[in-house]
Amino acid sequence: MQKSIDDDQLDEEQELFEHYKFIADKGQTLLRIDKFLIDRVPNTSRNKIQVAANSGNILVNKKTVKSNYKVKPFDEISIVLPFPPRELELIPENIPLQILYEDNDLIVVNKQAGLVVHPGYGNYTGTLVNGLLYHFDKLPTINQTNRPGLVHRLDKNTSGIMVVAKTEFAMTHLANQFFERTTERRYNALVWGDFDSDEGTVIGNVARSLKNRKVMDVFPDGEHGKHAVTYYKVLKRFGYVTLIECKLETGRTHQIRVHMQHIGHSLFNDNEYGGDKILKGTSFAKYKQFVENCFEIIPRQALHAKTLGFTHPTTKEWLQFNSDLPTDMQNVLVKWENYVSSRLNDETV
């Protein structure tokens, strides 16, 4: 039997849910899966396991099963469960939210930059969760965690689309989609430098930096961290910076930010990954002032979660949502467009 979980390197989804995988021994006798799992998953109950099964979050050989399924030799079993509770009072707050979609099962929001997603150390109030609790009467709080309804996250200074569950069933069903990589996530990012080709792929394990635990690092030879894949495509070239689209195959913490830094294209004004200084272009006074003005326009990493697609937990319909770039990103792109145009005009005079 083999268990696969790494509590030290938590991903954006795995910070919200536990994901366990087991392979039954060759001598495994027929046994109900809820009884099989109760002896193998720590700090759980048979009721929690049965709820997971009813929510479609127990898979055997990649197919959902009910709690009375009989485990056989060599079965590959996975289960998704919420993490144990953290003691923290959740206070509803009247925080403006942009709701793109809502039904009985879920909410899709367009998160503004600067908004922390859930309460935690140093951010006990003023979060997306506090706002959700004000605007919606009840959200699923499995085990009374401080992250009701959440199945994934965005960084504080990343804007864009998130899905929030309104029922326990939707919560566990959506969490499993993120874990199984069946969602579609596309981001727009403004990065430093130009690219040799219009498309590319970044592959490299991501984990906490061994030098600074507040940020992530890439370990390309795979001796540390977790497998991570980012696909990128050039949308607009500005010479010293480039607007790209990033599609995530995996969802590691800070994945786009650290992957782009790894290949020499830190996100524009990303102060944690080196993008908050001039990385391309000559630092003469006029250009330096121009870049500093751009930093003032977008005082954060230039990253926006533009597209999110997933299967509706109840209807099984594929839903896809898109959002426009926020004003700060639009304004900084206009500024770069004007800068490039003025340089071309100067060269042709």
Give the pLDDT confidence of 179-228 residue by residue, as tens digits.
888 999 999 999 999 999 999 999 999 988 888 878 999 998 777 888 99
Which pLDDT belongs to residue 204?
94
Q: Are 267 and 332 in contact (CB under 8 A)?
A: no
Burial (0-12, 13-18, 19+ Cβ within 10 Å), 110? buried
Q: Which residues of 147-163 are buried (b: 16+ CB within 10 A; e: fewer)?
A: bbbbbbbbbbbbbbbbb
Q: How far apart are CA 129 and CA 132, in angstroms?
A: 5
Catalytic residue among 34, 75, 105, 155: 155
pTM (2 decimals)? 0.77
Measured CA to CA, the distance from residue 349 to residue 346 in angstroms comes to: 5
> Residue 8 carries which DSSP code?
T
Query: In this predicted structure, what is the pLDDT of residue 9?
Result: 30
Selected from 3.10.290.10, 3.20.20.70, 3.40.50.300, 3.90.550.10, the CATH number assigned to the domain covering 17-82 reads 3.10.290.10
CA dist 254 to 113, 234, 245, Å? 15, 20, 16
Residue stretches of the chain with pLDDT short of 50: 1-11, 13-14, 85, 349
- pLDDT value, residue 197: 96
The answer to whether 7 is a known catalytic residue is no
Give the list of residues 6+ apart from residue 292 with CB closer than 8 angstroms, or none: none
Hunting for tokens 């001598």 — which residue is that?
Answer: 27
- Residue 17: predicted pLDDT: 65
- Check residue 10 and give its pLDDT: 34
| pLDDT (0 to 100) of residue 310 | 97
User: What is the C-alpha R_g of the chain?
Assistant: 22
CATH 3.10.290.10 positions along the chain are: 17-82
Among 275, 299, 245, 243, smallest CA distance to 114 is for: 299
Domain with CATH 3.30.2350.10 in the chain: 186-305
**Predicted pLDDT of residue 82:** 66
Give the model's pLDDT for residue 83.
57
What number of CA atoms fall less than 13 Å from residue 315's CA on the CB side? 9
Q: What is the tens place of the pLDDT at every residue in 251-293?
A: 899 999 999 999 999 999 999 999 999 999 987 899 999 999 9
Q: According to the model, what pLDDT value does residue 142 have? A: 61
What is the third-level CATH fold of 186-305? Answer: Pseudouridine synthase (3.30.2350)
- CA neighbor of 99 nearest in space, from 109, 89, 84, 91: 109
What is the DSSP code string of 71-125?
E-TT-EEEEEEEPPP-------------EEEE-SSEEEEEEPTT--SS-BTTBSS
Contact 129, 123 (CB under 8 A): no
